[in-house]
Amino acid sequence: MNNIVQEMVEWIESHLLEGFSLEHLGKDMGYSPYYCSFKFHQITGITIKKYRSLRKMYLASMALKDPQKKIIDIAFYHGFSSQESFSRAFKNTFGISPNDYRRSPQPIQTFVKLNLLGERGWFTMDISQKLKIEALQEKINAQYDQKILNVLNGQIMYEEFAKQQLMGNSDYVPFNEAMCTNPTTSVIFSEEFNKIRSTGHQVSLEDYELITVNPLKPLLTNDYQCIVLWFGDDMFCQLNLLTVLAFLEQQGYQGKVYYHMVKEMTYDVEETEIVLGNYMEIYEQVLIQHRLPKTTVLPVMYQGVQLYFNYLKEENEITTYIKKHLDMPQNDLIKQLFYLFPHYGLGDRQYSKLIEKSKE
Q: What is the distance between the alpha carbons of residues 145 and 181, in angstroms, rounded to a whole number?
A: 37
Q: What is the distance between the alpha carbons of residues 279 and 48, in angstroms, rounded to a whole number?
A: 35
Beta-sheet strand order (sheet of 171-175): 171-175, 148-153, 226-231, 256-263, 268-274
Q: What is the distance between the alpha carbons of residues 98 and 24, in angstroms, rounded to a whole number?
A: 32
Contacts of residue 287, defined as CB under 8 A and 6 or more positions apart, other chains included, come to: 179, 184, 239, 242, 243
Instruction: Quote the pLDDT of residue 276.
Output: 96
**Long-range contacts (CB closer than 8 Å, 24 or more residues apart) made by 80-83:** none
Strand partners, 57: none
The C-alpha angle with vertex 335 and arms to 332 and 338, in degrees rounded to 5, equals 150
- What CA–CA distances, in Å, run from 31 to 24, 40, 117? 10, 12, 21
Residue type present at position 330: Q
User: What topology does CATH give the domain 127-309?
Assistant: Rossmann fold (3.40.50)
The C-alpha angle with vertex 96 and arms to 58 and 280, in degrees rounded to 5, equals 120
Instruction: Give CATH superfamily name and number for 2-103.
Output: Homeodomain-like (1.10.10.60)
Q: What is the distance between the alpha carbons of residues 56 and 325, in angstroms, rounded to a whole number?
A: 29
Instruction: Quote the pLDDT of residue 124.
Output: 47
Q: What is the distance between the alpha carbons of residues 66 and 69, in angstroms, rounded to a whole number?
A: 6
Alpha helices per DSSP H over 222-347: 235-250, 279-283, 299-312, 317-324, 330-340
Q: What is the distance between the alpha carbons of residues 299 and 96, in angstroms, rounded to a whole number?
A: 7
Q: What is the distance between the alpha carbons of residues 295 and 318, in angstroms, rounded to a whole number?
A: 28
CB atoms within 10 A of CB 79: 16
User: What are phi and psi for residue 126, nearest 5 degrees?
Assistant: -95, 165
Strand partners, 127: none
Sign of dihedral through CA atoms 337, 339, 345, 347? Answer: positive
Q: What is the distance between the alpha carbons of residues 17 and 130, in angstroms, rounded to a whole number?
A: 35
pTM of the model: 0.89
Mean pLDDT by 10 residues, the chain (360 residues): 88 88 93 93 91 93 94 94 94 93 89 73 53 79 81 90 82 95 96 97 96 94 91 96 97 94 77 95 97 93 96 94 94 91 92 91
Instruction: Quote the pLDDT of residue 170.
Output: 84
